[in-house]
Amino acid sequence: MQSALVFGQPDGKASRTIHIIEDAVTRPMSDEVSVEWLAAPINPLDLIVVAGKYPTKPKYCINGEFIAGFDGVARVLTCGDEVESLKPGDLVVPNTLGLGTWRTRAVLKAEDLLGIPTITDVTVAALLKSAILPAYFLVEDMRTLKPGDWIIQNAGTGAISQLVVQIAHLRGVRVISVVRDREFMKSPALQDADIVLRESELPAIDTLKGKRIVLGLDSVFGTSAAKLADCISNHGTFVNYGQLSGGGPSASMALSHRLLFFDRLTFRSFRGSEQVAARSKEELGDLCAWLAQKIEQGILRRPEVDVLAWNPNEEEFKRKVCDALDRAQDGTAIGSRKTVFRIRADEI
């Protein structure tokens, strides 16, 4: 049997529609594998899917209800006769959207999974696609960076932001993390940042004077984005990769003529899927192997996240799931800790 978090009718408030269900697990066909999910995060994309506002729908259902969750890490249990790319015991992450990761077991097409090297901490492994790879792409792909350069980013306590700091330091690049005024400045999530500033302090001319801030990473948009752009050095690059402030497609940010004409900033958008598509499967595999090595060596560390143990038979678990969904969906949750379902209790 498998237990899963499913939803029927789309709802803008995920906790109203997500619920737990149990169902039998089928045997894999010749091109499929049977897996057990080990851990899976709650990402903003998951909530957009539950709200019915994302074009890609979940691929799997139980009794006509969609299985939620687009990201996570699983272990292969058995393989169909024609599967050659995977074997029992392999760790895998989704290689496509909509696999329904918020569940204990699944039978999936082998081609829809990407094998990854062993990562002992499955909570970290579950963040590979949704946090670790995006952080790497933001540092590596958005602009050529040199030792001594600086990055400035908002939502400084978010999982991606924490990983941006760690990966940037591997390149000799330093990072300024910006947080909202009400956030705790000595949060463990900020311990690696070279400078931590509150939004109200920006543009912090005295603090930032003389620093070569060549890249700004914005996941909030709106007023926060405008303040971030004001801190970037001439010929720098501003990248937006999210909209935690809300507002939808009609939201806007103030953009002065100085930034475009005199400072000559470059403005870019970021989609992790495009950066993945720009790499061959072999290149992506090599990258995952390199990142896994850094994780196992302790060079890249787990970001500060909340871990929720999977125990669907307890009423307390159901309440905690609703609380985690509400917290993730709260419009004031910018920079809040990501929740990861720990579906299996054992390490690899």
Kindly report the three-state secondary structure assignment for every residue of 216-250: EEECCCHHHHHHHHCCCCCCCEEEECCCCCCCHHH
Is residue 56 within 8 A of residue 49, CB to CB? The reply is yes
Q: How far is CA 218 from CA 158, 174, 177, 234, 248, in A?
A: 12, 16, 11, 17, 15
Is residue 127 within 8 A of residue 159, CB to CB? The reply is yes
Residue found under tokens 């959207």: 97
Is residue 138 within 8 A of residue 161, CB to CB? The reply is no
Give the active site residue among 54, 60, 136, 241.
54
Provide the 10 A C-beta neighbour count for residue 181: 9
Nearest alpha-carbon partner for 153 in 226, 222, 243, 215: 215
φ and ψ of 267, to 5 deg: -110, 130
φ and ψ of 196, to 5 deg: -120, 130
Which strands sit side by side in the sheet containing 174-179, from one edge to the other? Answer: 195-198, 174-179, 150-153, 213-218, 237-240, 266-269
Is residue 30 within 8 A of residue 80, CB to CB? The reply is yes
- Is 54 in the active site? yes
Which residues are bridge partners to 151 per DSSP? 175, 215
Nearest alpha-carbon partner for 301 in 140, 81, 119, 129: 119
Intra-chain end-to-end CA distance of the chain, in Å: 22
Nearest alpha-carbon partner for 143 in 212, 238, 221: 238
Annotated catalytic residues are 54
